Amino acid sequence: MKVIGYIRVSTEEQATDGVSLATQREKLNGYAKLYDLELVEIIEDAGESGKTLNRPGLQRALAMIRRGQAGGLLIAKLDRLSRSVVDWNTLIDGYFGERCGKVRFGYRLADDGTTLIAIPEEQEAIQTIRRLKAAGESLRDIAAELTRRGILTKEGNAQWKHTTVARILERTA
């Protein structure tokens, strides 16, 4: 996936206090390499406040996304992009409403690509996991029972692991 990196500092103090442009640039390069992202360009706003979206570098980055030159914006920290909830809403509605990441066990994505729809069989499996845990069963015993019943994991595996059971319990607590 092609992404644009965006880095920002608002004051000279920030430039030397752990969020320097160089530090942010290094983080973006490392993240892009780790996740095999094509970093098209890193755009910076030096000496620009995060209180507004009206920053030359940010506007240029967003324009590149609108033109399809990249599919995402990579930042080192959320506060480098914005400190305003209103601005976050503007960005999410205008550029980032798309859901990213895996859909958790028990759900699938609707055709709109953002709405989660419950999968009855997986919801039933979640209830089984909860009941067995409440009855004092260990995570390994629950995994073995799900495997015995032929219930498939989200990835379609027939063999359950205790770590998968633990994640489901954490996410549905």
* DSSP state string for 79-99: HHH-S-HHHHHHHHHHT--S-
Spatial separation of the C-alpha atoms in residues 161 and 60, rounded to whole Å: 46
Is there a contact between 95 and 74 (Cβ–Cβ < 8 Å)?
Answer: no
What CATH class has 2-94?
alpha beta
Q: Is the full-model pTM beyond 0.75? A: no
How much is the pLDDT for 66? 87
Give tens-digit pLDDT for 40-53. 999 999 888 888 88
Give tens-digit pLDDT for 94-148. 777 755 557 789 988 887 766 788 999 999 999 999 999 999 999 999 999 999 9
How much is the pLDDT for 166? 94
Which one is catalytic: 10, 49, 82, 84?
A: 10
Give tens-digit pLDDT for 149-167. 999 998 898 999 999 999 8
Cα 143 → chain centroid: 27
How much is the pLDDT for 15? 54
pLDDT mean over 77-83 = 84
Non-local (6+) Cβ contacts of 23 within 8 A are 76
Spatial separation of the C-alpha atoms in residues 70 and 86, rounded to whole Å: 24
Mean pLDDT of the chain: 87
Check whether 13 has a pLDDT greater than 60: no
How much is the pLDDT for 153? 93
10 flagged as catalytic = yes
